[in-house]
Amino acid sequence: MKKVATIAGSDATGGGGLEADLKTFQEFGTFGFTAITSIVNLDPNNGSHHLRILPLEILQEQLVSIFAGTIDALKTGLLPSQEMIELVSTLIPKGIPLIVDPVIGGKGTQDFIKSNQVRDLREKLIPRAMIVTPNLREAGILSELGELTSKKQMQEAAKKIALLGVKHVVIKGGARLDTKETLDLHYDGKSFQSYPHPVIDTPYNHGAGCTFAAAITAAVAKNYPVEQAIKLAIDFVQAAISMGEQINPYVGHVWHGAYTHGEKRLEYSDEK
Ligand code: PXL
């Protein structure tokens, strides 16, 4: 069985963060490991998110644990401090495919990380990655091009991010592009491949970005070439968004089990 690890924050409400990663890893038939950097909690009085950062030594102990055996692919998500970015950049073994999801902010909340951490992501972690998967906003920040609204600007941003030293840049167009169709863009240092797909009209899409990067990570662990891993991840996330559900008064999550209709497993039947 392929082993995949995520170094990420916990989303207490279960849609994004390492919860999304683990659920997705399992759906892809891989065995998931986690190292928790932080916990994002939701205030039920007003829907605001609160970030609780774990002590660095607890992250270090988890990294030592997960690297005690073989890991086939590794994903990073929310790394909320410079010390954590530094630690992860130094402790992850060379030779394991690394997928960096450069989490900067959540939806409609304050950014989780500030400019110093963004600089460390650019200078320390992204150069070690095989694939980086920013959303539109993160791509604008990492490329220092600001707001991106067109395919051409996405291409420019991908080129600039590739210059940081990462082979594959995959920008998630998401629902923020000003069109009915959206697109995900892949740049491999030589050419661009775009993957247009319809925007699914739903507010219940929390967790889509983490799920996308987790799906790519699991597919890479299973030896899929990057292009095929991206296609699998897009189909998986489209299914997950189309079955998104409201989870509490403030947010609705993608259903990570949609692709294989996990909700139908073990349905109780009293038929004899
Ligand atoms: O979607 C970005 C994200 C990443 N990681 C954690 C999160 C979120 C969004 O809420 O909670 C832990």
Report how far residue 247's alpha carbon sits from residue 224's, in angstroms, rounded to the nearest whole number: 33
Q: State which H helix or E strand residue 97 sits in.
A: none
Q: What is the pLDDT of residue 153?
A: 96
CA distance between the termini of the chain: 36
Ramachandran area for residue 29 (φ above 0: left; ψ -120 to 50: alpha; else beta): left
Taking the centre of ligand 1 as the mean of its atom positions, its distance from the CA of residue 79, in whole angstroms, is 10
CA dihedral defined by 180, 111, 172, 97, rounded to 10 degrees? -170
Is pTM, for the whole model, over 0.95?
yes
Non-local CB neighbours of 132 within 8 Å, separated by 6+ positions: 99, 100, 101, 102, 126, 142, 161, 166, 168, 169, 170
**Residue to mutate, 10, 99, 103, 211, ligand 1, most ligand atoms under 8 Å from C-beta:** 103
Taking the centre of ligand 1 as the mean of its atom positions, its distance from the CA of residue 267, in whole angstroms, is 30
DSSP-derived letter for residue 201 is -
* Nearest alpha-carbon partner for 99 in 193, 218, 259, 228: 218
Q: What is the pLDDT of residue 106?
A: 74
Q: What is the pLDDT of residue 174?
A: 83
Taking the centre of ligand 1 as the mean of its atom positions, its distance from the CA of residue 16, in whole angstroms, is 5
What's the token pair of residue 131?
């694939």
What's the token pair of residue 194?
């775009």
Report how far residue 226's alpha carbon sits from residue 88's, in angstroms, rounded to the nearest whole number: 23
User: What is the chain's percent helix, strand, coil content, to nearest 5?
Assistant: 40, 25, 40
Taking the centre of ligand 1 as the mean of its atom positions, its distance from the CA of residue 9, in whole angstroms, is 7
Report how far residue 47's alpha carbon sits from residue 21's, in angstroms, rounded to the nearest whole number: 23
The C-alpha angle 60, 130, 160, rounded to 5 degrees, equals 110
Say if CB 74 and CB 97 are below 8 A apart: yes
Residue with tokens 């450069």: 102
Per-residue pLDDT in tens (0 to 9) along the chain, 272 residues: 999 999 999 999 999 999 999 999 999 999 999 999 999 999 999 999 999 999 999 999 999 999 999 999 999 999 999 999 999 999 999 999 999 999 998 765 579 999 999 999 999 999 999 999 999 999 999 999 999 999 999 999 999 999 999 999 999 998 777 677 889 999 999 999 999 999 999 999 999 999 999 999 999 999 999 999 999 999 999 999 999 999 999 999 999 999 999 999 999 988 76
For atom 4 of ligand 1, the residue with the nearest CA is 17
CA of 18, closest atom in ligand 1: 12
**Residue to mutate, 37, 52, 210, ligand 1, most ligand atoms under 8 Å from C-beta:** 210
